[in-house]
Amino acid sequence: MGGGARAVRIGGFSDYLGDRRRALAEAVAGGPCDVLIGDHLAESTLAVLAARHCGDPAKGYVEYFLDQLRPHLAERGTRVVVNAGGFNPAGPAGAMRALVAGSGTTLRVAHVEGDPVVHSG
Comparison of pLDDT for 121 and 62, the residue scoring more: 62
Task: Say whether pLDDT at 38 is over 60.
Answer: yes
Type and span of the H or E element at 35 = strand 35-39
Q: What pLDDT shows up at residue 56?
A: 93
Nearest to 86 by CA among 68, 121, 113: 113
Query: From CA 28, how far away is CA 73, in angstroms rounded?
Result: 11
Q: What pLDDT shows up at residue 1?
A: 57
Map out the domains of the chain as residue ranges: 10-103
CA distances in angstroms from 104 to 44, 74, 107, listed in the order given: 36, 9, 10
Type and span of the H or E element at 98 = helix 90-103
* pTM for the whole structure: 0.76
Lowest mean pLDDT among 27-31, 44-48, 50-54: 27-31
pLDDT level of residue 102 (50, 70, 90 thresholds): confident
